[in-house]
Structure 1
Amino acid sequence: MIISQSSLSMDSHRTAEVKHEVKSELTLWRGERTGADSEQTRTPGRSLVVRAEALQVTISRTAHSLQPKEALLKLDDAAPEPHMGELKIQLIKIMIEHFTGREIDILTPDELQPEAQPVETEPSQTKLELQAQAQSAGWGMIYDFYESHYESEHVDFKAQGKVLTADGREISIALQLSMSREFLRESTVQIRAGDAVLKDPLVVNFNGTTAQLTERNFHFDIDADGRDEQIAFVRPGSGLLALDRNADGRINDGSELFGALSGDGFSELANHDKDGNGWIDEADSIYRRLRIWTKSADGQDSLMALGQTGVGAIYLGSVETPFLLKDAGNETLGQIRQTGIYLSEDGESGTLQQLDLVV
């Protein structure tokens, strides 16, 4: 091919974005923490709140009343340089030990070995026994860390024109090319200790869905201490597994849920497996007393027996499935911790999940 004449135009357009975000918040307190949203209301006792966003740190006024104490973190010079996340975990460990006077061990996810085995059954627990398990530790710690790195790049190339060849051919050119890439990395660390441990009711999911939460605008005494907390509730399509202990037709507090006081709903439910077959079914007396607590879109409560919802048997085994549930502003509403299964009367299977609710 020999080009005798040509008329070409080429153009390109590129867009790129790089965004890095880091958020962290550490809250420590001694005594009673009576406020969920404001450190000024955490009395009596001492509290320390440290928030870090874009390298900014603020310390609450109550923190200034704390007596200065020293804590040293010694690193082996010959050891490899630790990852920043590891340094943060070590620092938090030192702060907790210094604050509580107790030595602690922090396990990484790799060190956890979940097993899908039912918990051995024990005698049924009363409300007073559950409350005794949930007694205040006298201190608490909440640590939340979130880091994300996002990159995107897009290039458009366009060429058009005409070419005449020596043998008389006319060639029209209309060419477009697009190149793009996108990358997102997220890292989340959540640590709760002492009185800051999240509340863990069991949730039954229907129609193949997973647990989803509303905004945190529901007032309910989830820890059965006589005071309402502000929590999220499950959306339509899921319901809380409940036991109406006083048969008044309503769920009064967390003592009538599974796991809200003990922290382990599957183990608590297993206490009622009288025949020891690893299932809660019609052979267990509690089956007829269990209820599914749901709320409609307009907030109306409903308590339904397992048979009314089609649940035939609940398996008592579960595995760890940690998954954060957040709102539109990326604030944590809760976390799915464990997932198990149930069987419906028609032979279909569904999921039962232990859900940590942020109080």
Structure 2
Amino acid sequence: MDSDCRQKEKPAQSWLIELTIFKMASTLPLCFDCVSMTKPESHISAAAVAAGTIQNLLLLHTERQKRGVSADKKAKLDELVAGLGIVNERLSIHPETAFADLTPLCKSHMADAIASKAEIYQDHYRGLGGADPDYRNGLVLAARLFEYANDINENQTWMHWRGLLLNELGDHQAAADSFGKASEISGGKDIYQVFQMQSLSAAQPSTSKNESGQDADALLNSIRASVKAITGMDISDEELQTMARANDLLQERFEEAVDDEVVEAGPFLPLDQQLKIAQFGVETAYLIVDGHYEEARKRFGASFKSDLSLQDMKAEYEEMTSYSETPMETAYAMAPYVVDGCAHIYIAVQSDDISEAITFIFNHVEEKKLEIEGIDWGRP
């Protein structure tokens, strides 16, 4: 293996009914890539992806139960498996039953897993570009998944990303609503209000945007009315001017970043391979955080296994998490990416008091059997 590969810089709910309808029509496999069907991925129901993800979580954490975890994790893991079991049954039998009585831990795991899938879909379809016939359908799927995740456990970042996707799709009013929700969740952060104002402006009819400025007052009044309708707040001229200046500054910065950025595109990873890598990474991360180091090393390639002993692996992980007062309990996969032919998957691992990360590196990204050829410990 090229050793350089290891050293690169790391760069609910009405939908329950939809899930049930899908499951009546088709039995979902208990695997992370629940969308491996004959039709194009972008035409898969977001509800099907969410349901399959929940089923996979149940399988993953049941396997953790069987392998055994430390005493300080056992109660939480048992609670999580029980909660996921209830959700899985409700998807099949009682879609009208809400999630209100489920524990925060269960909601958090479900929402994180669905949002992680949304990140993979959005990155994949954005990479295809607007000329691809599946581009729009794929972004709609990702936006819906972010909405599902937020329905289960509110998160301002997911609503922000949903808003960006909706703007790309041209649904500016819905994007403004999403940014408004992000602002509400965050306690009124101005940055989300700026994005909301930009979307509301884009949603106005083109006749209101005369470059001569003759209709500027009409445009401002229309934006002000839209903000009032969504937030119930009256926006002053000064606040509008501040947001407009902030929006112009953001736009300039984004344009500068695009102009200055020189990125050599890596090999294109098929969607099914991205999903496979993400699942493999999450499973391996849980083996490590649960202390099953020897099981984790079975997933290493031969050369890397000889480079990183069990004792060194344990020491690296324990050093990374030494400042935590609570055990690491969750793993969240970002979208895989490729650098110089090596696939990387960044897994955020978290406890009650800290967030760290493990990046797994794969040399031969197109091989059917995945083997880890390098690890980067810690956040960038």
Classify the TM-score, shorter chain. under 0.3
Of Structure 1 and Structure 2, which has the larger fraction of its residues in helix? 2
Larger Rg: 1
Greater RCO (Cα-Cα under 8 Å, separation 6 or more): 1
Give the structure with the larger strand fraction: 1
TM-score (norm 1): 0.24
